[in-house]
A = this chain, B = another copy of it.
Amino acid sequence: MIKNILGTNDFMEFLRGKSATFMLCLSNTKTADIAGITQAGIPGQIYLTPTLDSEFVTCGEVRSLENIAQTPKGVPTPAILTRASHLLKPFSNIELLNLGIKNLPRIDYFQTHEFGISVSGDITTGANIDAMDVFKKGLDFGQEYECKDDYIILAESVPSGTTTAAATAVALGYDCKEMFSSSFKEVPDDIRNKTIENALFNIKYEDDIFAKLSKVADNMLIFTAGFILGLNNKTKLILAGGTQMACALLIVNSILKQMDGHLKTSNLALCTTKWVYEDEKSDIKALLELNDLKVNAYYSDFDFSLSEHPALKLYDEGEAKEGVGAGACVAYALINGISKKELTKKIESLLG
């Protein structure tokens, strides 16, 4: 039920039955305030999405708003896939990473790592991130982090994160603008491409990697690149996402090339959803193949073919696709004995 995008299935098979820490990166970029750029949340309150997603995954309730975040089309957040997986086969541990959010989640007990990182700016005018600082914080966190479980599933909730990821990868010189996914079925190419183009206008020829990241990236991308390098293959890590996580890997690649550095990647993998993998408007596989680093990549062969729920059917029609680690979390459930049917039923039950 887990399919290979790149590499063999050994890595994922090895994790069958093993314990996982689920780590969720929460970040706001003001890029999400651009009208129509994302459907990851409620218009006017898009910034709340990471907050609500983290509340829902950990405690099963959205506390900072009355109802669970839905897109204008009524597509429920992919956090429902994550939560359903956790209900059926609980993660041993959940930790949150505050990478610059406007509203802190209202939860107790669950560890929220604080890094003193601010909400990043709109990339059309400049994200205004201290990229070296955020990168170093990710690096330090990776170096110091001691996982009590067998592996880490690192996920993200960053509205408009695919736009910042596309801008970042292009700014770093990768020929990939068309390879990026979006939460929309009808990708709002005009708004999105215009945003990316405007962002890239700010890049100057003499900008080094970190200068570029400061202008067009988001905190999650930069922090995650640092984290991967800091962790340095000591702990098994699944990057739980699609094109955004692929971009974090491209940042790692660029930094390594500039430093003439090396990184073992035997303990590193990416896992996303079938919706991202099959998306005709993006190309996760090509994006990963642009990378000099060879990283195992998978998608969970899960869709809503067993469901009749109209809100879930929208996923199969190409809306939403990924986020909050949905693809990797479904994979986690599947490699731990949970069936597609059980998952479908549990997800349906969360919609009430």
List residues of A whose CB falls within 8 A of some B CB: 8-11, 13-14, 16-18, 58-61, 86-93, 107-110, 266, 335-338
Contact = CB atoms under 8 A, between A and B. Distances in A.
Contacts of A337: 87-90, 338
A73 to B, nearest CB: 30
B90 A335 contact: yes
Contacts of A59: 8-10, 13
A16 B86 contact: yes
A90 B86 CA distance: 17
A11 B109 contact: yes
Contact of A90 (B11, B16, B61, B87): B16
Q: Which of A11, A88, A90, A266 is the most central at the interface, judged by chain B CB atoms within 10 Å of its CB? A: A90
Q: For the complex formed by this chain, how many copies does it contain in all?
A: 2
6 closest Cβ pairs, A-B complex: A17-B90, A14-B109, A10-B108, A16-B90, A13-B59, A88-B337
Given A10-B59, A59-B9, A336 B90 contact: yes
Contacts of A108: 8, 10-11, 14, 266
Given A16-B91, A17-B89, A17-B93, 20 more contacts: A8-B59, A9-B59, A9-B60, A10-B59, A10-B107, A10-B110, A11-B108, A11-B109, A13-B110, A14-B58, A14-B108, A16-B87, A17-B91, A18-B90, A18-B93, A87-B337, A88-B337, A89-B337, A108-B266, A337-B338
Contacts of A13: 58-60, 109-110
23 contacts: A8-B59, A8-B108, A9-B59, A9-B60, A10-B107, A10-B109, A11-B108, A11-B109, A13-B58, A13-B110, A14-B58, A14-B108, A14-B110, A16-B90, A16-B91, A17-B86, A17-B89, A17-B92, A18-B90, A18-B93, A88-B337, A89-B337, A90-B335
Chain A, interface SS category = loop
Contacts of A107: 10
Contacts of A17: 86, 89-93
Contacts of A58: 10, 13-14
A20 to B, nearest CB: 9
A120 B201 CA distance: 71
A139 B163 CA distance: 58
A58 B18 CA distance: 13
A61 B109 contact: no
Contacts of A87: 16, 337
Nearest to A107: B10
Nearest to A13: B59
A337 to B, nearest CB: 5
A13 B9 CA distance: 32
A208 to B, nearest CB: 37
Nearest to A59: B13
A115 B96 CA distance: 43
Q: Which of A17, A110, A335 is the most central at the interface, judged by chain B CB atoms within 10 Å of its CB? A: A17
